[in-house]
Amino acid sequence: MSTSAEGVLSVEVPRGAFHLFTNLCKGCGLCKEKCPKDCLIWSECLGSFGTPAVIPDDPQNCIACGICQQVCPDCAILIERKRVK
């Protein structure tokens, strides 16, 4: 996991990358419940309302499906997909 100066949590996962913008995450947890692999947990970093931001517990579990990005009401999650050969 790496945290940039802009408050972006980035995790490299096998099929791409998971990015979370802490200034946008309000900690509602809707993404946590929608994750098909049930792999999102609360992180040590705080979001915009002082609530914990989400992060994949183990990068190997995240399949970069993008459902968390789709259901996030604040566009706080960005999934980058790598082309797997």
Partner 1 sequence: MSAAQPVIQPKMPKSWYKSNKPHLFCPGCGHGMVLKALGEAIDELGIQSKAVFGCDIGCSLLAWNFLDVDSTQTHHGRTTPVMVGIKRSRPELITIAYMGDGGGYAIGSQHTVNAAIRNEKITVILVNNTNYGMTGGQMAPTTLPGQITETTPFGRDPEETGYPTRGPEMVAAIASEGAYVARGTVANFRQLKGFIKKALENQIAGRGFSFVEALSVCPTNWRTNARDTWAFLEDKMTQYFPVGEFKVPQVKEE
Distance CA(35)–CA(66), nearest Å, equals 9
Residue number with CB closer to partner 1 (24 or 63): 24
In whole angstroms, how close is the CB of 84 to partner 1 at the nearest point?
21
- Residues of this chain that bind partner 1 (CB under 8 A): 4-6, 8, 10, 19, 21, 23-24, 26-30, 32-34, 48-49, 51, 69-76, 78
Whether the CB-CB separation of 33 and 24 falls below 8 Å is answered with no
Q: Which is nearer to partner 1, 6 or 85 (CB)?
A: 6
Alpha helix (H) ranges present in 1-85?
30-34, 67-71
Q: Tell me how far, at minimum, the Cβ of 20 lies from partner 1, in Å.
A: 10
CB nearer partner 1, residue 51 or residue 61: 51
3-state helix, strand, coil in the chain (%, to 5): 10, 35, 50
